[in-house]
């Protein structure tokens, strides 16, 4: 009997939603399990790192890693799994673009540590104890991974073969990707396994998108009563669909929320945030400096808005430390 292809899953800096999306295959997961051998999946199955280390290099058909890379342990696991796998797939927005964890690239490591272990209102730590990478007591040594200065995308650490976009990827896209892996019908290396068109293309409100968008003000969705049938841009709401890859079938818009950009850019765009900024700002109605600034003030946090998922993968990558 021919051996079934081996598949592995691993998570790094992520929320667990990507793991959940695998389970969201529902009964289809049985087909997957029938067709492949899952050899490593810490969240669901009991395998050890030593099991992976013992496998011959390249013996795993495909590994899907979700989450951004923040610690030395994640780096080490990414490298180990890269070596053991034929295909390495960046699974989800965090692995592909940095995701929400990459918003921490706006702050120095010391500021993060200080807040989390000393200043956060829910922390009681009068001795100001911080985690140490090494601690010895009674001859026993405990270690913790290093917390890096920069949050990275998976492909900033190891070579990546394919990307499955989304926060989280949809079960449909995952099923398609698994099928492609099993049949060997794969696109060129480096491809994102989703349609290469902007989200507007598959948006149910596409027809109501004005040819000439003209923002008189930007409205926040939680502070405004919105028309559930009209294009968000026509209503003055920041929707990133114009510069975001489709493939999610406009789930957020169908749920009456604007796109926040989790599928990342299309292949024609290098920096998603810059492109959204470009599109939205250029369509402000005002022509005088004061009027333009007043309208743009409706977007109070440009980095957090335009790079919600893409800061680590952006051209600037992280905040430059000021002297």
Partner 1 sequence: MSEAWEPRIVAFFCNWCTYTAADLAGVSRLKYAPNLRTIRVMCSGRVDPQFVLEAFARGADGVLIGGCHPGDCHYISGNYKCLRRFKMLRRLVRDMGIEEGRLRLEWIAASEGEKLKNVVNEMVAHVRALGPLRLNQKFAEWDEEMNQLEHAVGEAQKAKEPVHA
Nearest residue to 74 (alpha-carbon basis) of 58, 107, 98: 98
212 lines the binding site for partner 1 (CB under 8 A): no
Which residue from 54, 95, 205, 241 is in contact with partner 1, where contact means CB under 8 A? 54
Q: Rounded to the nearest whole angstrom, what is the least distance from the CB of residue 184 to partner 1 in the complex?
A: 26
CB of 215 to partner 1, least distance (A): 9
Stretch of 136-144, 187-195, 247-255, 295-303 contacting partner 1, by CB under 8 A: 295-303
Q: Which of residues 140-179 bind partner 1 (CB under 8 A)?
A: 146, 148-150, 156-157
108 prior amide bond cis, ω within 30: no
- CB closer to partner 1 out of 66 and 295: 295
Q: By C-beta, is 55 or 226 nearer to partner 1?
A: 55
Q: What is the DSSP letter of 164?
A: E
> H helices of 55-170, where?
72-84, 93-97, 109-114
Place of tokens 């680590």: 312
Q: Residue 242 carries which DSSP code? A: G
Please report whether residue 322 would count as binding partner 1 according to CB under 8 A: yes
8-state DSSP, 68: B
Which of 7, 93, 296, 312 contacts partner 1 by CB under 8 A? 296
Distances (CA, A) of 94 to 97, 271, 287: 5, 15, 38
Answer yes or no: are the C-beta atoms of 113 and 132 closer than 8 Å.
no
* Residue 247 CB contacts under 8 Å (≥ 6 apart), including other chains: 165, 166, 170, 173, 194, 195, 202, 263
> Which range, of 90-98, 226-234, 249-257, 294-302, touches partner 1 by CB under 8 A?
294-302
Q: Which is nearer to partner 1, 73 or 202 (CB)?
A: 73
Interface with partner 1, residue 75, by CB under 8 A: yes
Q: Provide the binding-site residues for partner 1, judged by CB under 8 A.
A: 53-54, 56-57, 72, 75-76, 79, 106, 146, 148-150, 156-157, 269-271, 273-275, 277-278, 280-284, 286-287, 289, 292-293, 296, 299, 302-303, 306, 314-323
């Amino acid at each position: 009997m021919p051996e079934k292809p081996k598949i592995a899953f691993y998570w790094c800096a992520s929320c667990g939603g990507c793991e959940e999306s695998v389970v969201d295959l529902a009964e289809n997961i049985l087909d997957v399990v029938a067709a492949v051998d899952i050899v490593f999946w810490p969240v669901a199955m009991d395998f050890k790192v030593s099991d992976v280390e013992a496998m011959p290099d390249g013996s795993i058909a495909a590994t899907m890693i979700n989450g951004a890379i923040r610690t030395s342990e994640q780096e080490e696991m990414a490298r180990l799994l890269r070596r053991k796998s034929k295909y390495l797939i960046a699974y989800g927005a965090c692995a592909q673009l940095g995701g929400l964890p990459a918003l921490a690239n706006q702050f120095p490591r010391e500021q993060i540590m200080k807040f989390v272990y000393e200043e956060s209102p829910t922390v009681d730590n009068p001795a100001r104890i911080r985690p140490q990478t090494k601690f010895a007591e009674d001859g026993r040594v405990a270690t913790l991974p290093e917390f890096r200065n920069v949050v990275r995308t998976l492909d900033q650490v190891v070579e990546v073969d394919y990307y499955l976009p989304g926060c989280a990827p949809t079960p449909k896209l995952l099923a398609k990707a698994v099928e492609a892996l099993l049949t060997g019908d794969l696109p060129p290396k480096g491809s994102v396994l989703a349609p290469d068109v902007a989200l507007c293309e598959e948006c149910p409100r596409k027809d109501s998108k004005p040819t000439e968008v003209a923002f008189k003000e930007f409205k926040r969705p939680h502070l405004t009563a919105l028309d559930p049938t009209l294009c968000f841009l026509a209503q003055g709401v920041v929707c990133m669909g114009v510069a975001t890859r489709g493939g999610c079938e406009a789930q957020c818009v169908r749920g009456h929320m604007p796109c926040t950009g989790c599928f990342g850019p299309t292949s024609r765009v290098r920096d998603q945030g810059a492109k959204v900024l470009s599109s939205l700002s250029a369509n402000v109605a005002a022509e005088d400096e004061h009027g333009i600034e007043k309208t743009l003030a409706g977007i109070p946090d440009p980095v957090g808005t335009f790079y919600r998922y893409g800061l680590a993968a952006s051209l600037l990558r992280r905040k430059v430390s000021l002297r």
